[in-house]
Structure 1
Amino acid sequence: MNSKKERPTVLIVDDTPDNLAFMGQLLKDDYQVRVATNGAKALQIARDARPLDVILLDIMMPELDGYEVCRLLKSDPATREIPVIFLTAKSDPDSERRGLELGAADYITKPISPPIVLARIKTQLNLKAAADFMRNKNDLLEREVLQRTGELQKSNQQLRLLAARVETVAEQERIEIARELHDELGQLLTALKLDLSWLKRRCPEGDTPVAGKIEAMDQVINATIGTVRRLTTGLRPRMLDELGVVAAIEAEVQEMRNRHLECTLDVPRRDTAIDKERQVSLFRIFQESMTNVMRHSGATRVEILLDLDDERAILQVTDNGCGIGSAPANNRSLGLVGMQERAHRWGGSFEILGTPGAGTTVRAVIPLRESGDAGIGAT
């Protein structure tokens, strides 16, 4: 036999003292017994006392009958899990059906059979123990999931902060390299071209081999200057810093047209104020999208939409190429991840849709306001 402290607690609810005495005598050896002579007292005990394991409930009681007590118990989160067994003289099927529909776990009619009552109480206790065990496991699992989810969200936030920092540092490095190419190498090439022009003017007439060599050198210098200019623009277009993302994208579109790629650019609004870092993110997403078009799509036409309003920027690049579904994954995965991270950095979204043979659409949405910001000025 269990110790008194470990014994389950049974609440008997009946307005007839003889019934309370009989049931108390039947259960006292195996259970801790609480009694209530009316529904209100039963509800008080169920809510305020130590947790109950089973409630034996009579139906026919004054004021609050057993049905109403059961309904109130099952509507209260603090008591709804306590098994209720109706113990009543109402033996008609309708009464039993009503009791079970209200949430009772069992229905026993009087006169009772003590062994049957004890067996049914034990069954409900076993069922409750199993339910409590599962509920506790579920609660533990939910807490662990919440904890792990919080840790994962924190890790993702830290990764995004790190990615943003890496992007900022990378942009600064691009700016420095572009500046050095322009200021140092560009000036050296310009000086070399001036010296070559001086030499060309002093070349003896009729010295065809020397003149030809000078002309070839001049062409090499011109080609090198063009290469430096393209590298500088690719690293960090000066137009992006001086005139903004719309002008920088327009310049890139014109360059694509010069390469015989049909491009259309739609910018419904041009006066939206966007901070510099978001402009850089938009431009880099556009730049990577166009790089993919040129390298992998085989497209002959590209449609670009840059839709700006006070709340968000939408960049959409659609081509008529082979479709992303037919492009090798290893040729595009890192570029796509980079574009996605640039959009997610600002709490935006990124998606890429494509059908083999029917072209590809890249769409990025970047919010232009942080939560709680009054606004973001142009830079």
Structure 2
Amino acid sequence: MSGAGAPLLVVAGEASGDRIAAEVLRALGPAVHAFGIGGRGCRAQGMETLAETSDIAAMGTLDVLRKVPALGRSLGALIGRIRKDPPRAALLVNFTELNARLGRALRRRGTHVLWAVAPQVWAWRAGRIHALHDAVDRLAVVLPFEELLWREAGYDARFVGHPSAEAPRLPREVARAQLGLAKGRTVAVLPGSRAGEITRLAPLFCEAASMLTARGDVDEARVLVAPWLDARARGELERAARRAGVEIAEADAEHGASPLLSAFDLALCASGTACLEAALAGLPTVIGYRVDPLTYALARRLVRTPHIGLPNVLLGRRAYPELLQDAVTNRSLAATAAALMNDAQKARAKADARALDALLRPPSPGPFGARVAALLDPWL
């Protein structure tokens, strides 16, 4: 990406946000010189990174508190660079608290702000929907019902489809060969991408997979390791898998687990992008999640949706079983997953995958990154 392009600030506060921002940068090409906060995906597109996405990614109140020093350093570096090289436009992805503050400061300076992947106000703290008017010019939303929700609140919101619905998927036998899987029944283990998720969930998920194989419910299991995991999280995941006797496999360098999920018959997933990817692949899926006790206590007061898994939210019903907090144990995960290993559940999962795909497909053609980039074009 040439230094002569229009300056574009990018702040992607999660691993999934880094992948989304990278797709947009790929579509924009040399028309911009991007700088800001990102990860390996953004760097691969030539972005000048002032801080790493992994340094500020957090889930839960205690996780955020632990990240405060890194957040302060990141914000300081950003402000210094913005003063030196004011961007014409900004692409903000995820990480609501930092990006809301940043968006307000940028718009006061005359920078146009596009927010991709809107905060999930429909799930919790609904009042936040009115808090971003001075922080954003336009919203690119990835869930179909969000466009009307944000427009009714006075925002310029555009539904651009969900990137997971467009992720490539290998033919089943090709994916199995790549993973070294035989012809038996298999379970994919996807315990999240944040360090806190790995710490809380990976041991339980790996032990559950081991139980499923020991009891003969499945023949093999694989823990799919995202390439964007930081070294500490990866080390914890590898230790959890080793202790449980479950093999590890590398996910796709660009698209993560999605291309390989066709190899499996069942999935154990953390809530988040992974469970949506598994559902779109047509897999019977168990969704499990734990946060720190303080975050959970706050969430019980604030959360407005009966579901935590995106597939269930989109379908409006508990199509995929959810286990939360103390209900997430190795035994409960294994027992819930075993109950899904029958023809009726598999057929239902395939039908639900088709329904989800139809919901998440965009109204206009072209790749996801290009659709988001088109919303930035008038400002560059």
The TM-score range, normalised by the shorter chain, is under 0.3
Q: Which has the higher helix share?
A: 1
TM-score (normalised: structure 2): 0.26
Q: Which has the higher contact order (CA 8 A, sep 6+)?
A: 2
Q: Which has the larger radius of gyration?
A: 1
